[in-house]
Amino acid sequence: MDMNTFTAFVERFGFPVGALVALVFFLYRILIWLGEKIVTPIAASHVALVESTKKTSELNALTLEKIGNVLETKARSIAEITKQNERIVTLTEEIGKLLKEKR
C-alpha cells in the first residue's frame, strides 16, 4: 500500500480507522517477521533435538542390553567360582580330617 492510497483511505474513513488499519498492517508484518526469524528456527532446532534424543535413546537401549548380557555372564561366572570355592573348602576340610586321623 503506497502513501497516496493510505492518505485517500484516511480522508475517506477518518484517522481512527486509518490508524487501526496501519496498526493491523504493521502488526501483521511484525508477526510474519517473528515467524520467519524466531519461530521457524526454534521449531527446526526443536525437531533436531527430538531426533537427536531419539537416536541417543536407541543407543542407550542397546548399551543397556549389552550391559545386561555382561552382568548375566559375570553372575554365572561368580556362581561357578562360588561352587569351586565351596568344593575347595570341602576338600580342604577332608584333607585336614585325614591328616588328623594319620597322627
The pLDDT assigned to 1 comes to 61
Cell triple for 22: 496501519
Domain layout of the chain by residue ranges: 3-102
The pLDDT assigned to 54 comes to 98
Going from the first residue of the chain to its last (103 residues), give the mean pLDDT of each consecutive group of 10, the final group possibly shorter.
79 88 93 95 96 98 97 97 96 91 78
Cβ count within 10 A of residue 44: 10
The separation between CA 29 and the C-alpha centre of its own chain, rounded to angstroms, equals 35
Q: What is the pTM of this model?
A: 0.55
The pLDDT assigned to 102 comes to 79
The pLDDT assigned to 15 comes to 87
The pLDDT assigned to 10 comes to 81
The pLDDT assigned to 67 comes to 98
Whole-Å CA distances, 103 to 69, 93, 95 = 51, 16, 13
